[in-house]
Amino acid sequence: MIGITSLRHNCADWFARMAASKLVTRDRLTTNDFDAEELRAFHQALHAAYRTFARQHPTWTQRGFDATFLRTEGLPTLLTCWASNGAAHRTPTGMDLARAWERKFGLLLYGADRVRQVVRLADAANELLAALTATRH
């Protein structure tokens, strides 16, 4: 049986995550914010960055951090990273992508293992973001 304290912590954690996810995504960019040429350049850069990422981190691509994930849940973060010039938006980090992955696929991980996996993915995702922005500038 779950204790009252444990239940309270689980509920508080859930509300904190929900609030944080709403705040993070409130001012994210959408594909409507770019013209056709910018979108074409973004998708080409993402494809090239992802190919490199997939070769270097095949385990993460098998665990759901793949092209489909990046073009759905990861797209707002990637667009913000692509458009970021330091003034309009906070530049996303690999942790932003890792948290999105955690919300979708990390449900079966618990405690220290969950934290370890998210941190490892954040490091790998930082490489993806670096490769994406390197082609932009």
Return the domain boundaries, the chain.
30-136
- Residue of 27, 5, 38, 41 lying closest to 80 (CA atoms): 27
The whole-model pTM stands at 0.72
Q: How far is CA 83 from CA 7, 41, 71, in A?
A: 41, 11, 16
Calculate Rg over the CA atoms of the chain.
Answer: 16
Please report the pLDDT score of residue 54 as a whole number.
96
Instruction: Give the Cα separation of 134 and 18 in Å (integer).
Output: 32
Please report the pLDDT score of residue 88 as a whole number.
53
Decide: 118 and 98 in contact? Cβ < 8 Å.
Answer: yes
pLDDT tens sequence for the chain (137 residues) = 455 545 444 544 544 454 444 433 334 556 667 788 888 999 999 999 999 999 999 999 999 999 999 999 999 999 888 886 555 557 889 999 999 999 998 888 888 999 999 999 999 999 999 999 887 75
Query: The tokens 């009252």 sit on which residue?
Result: 4
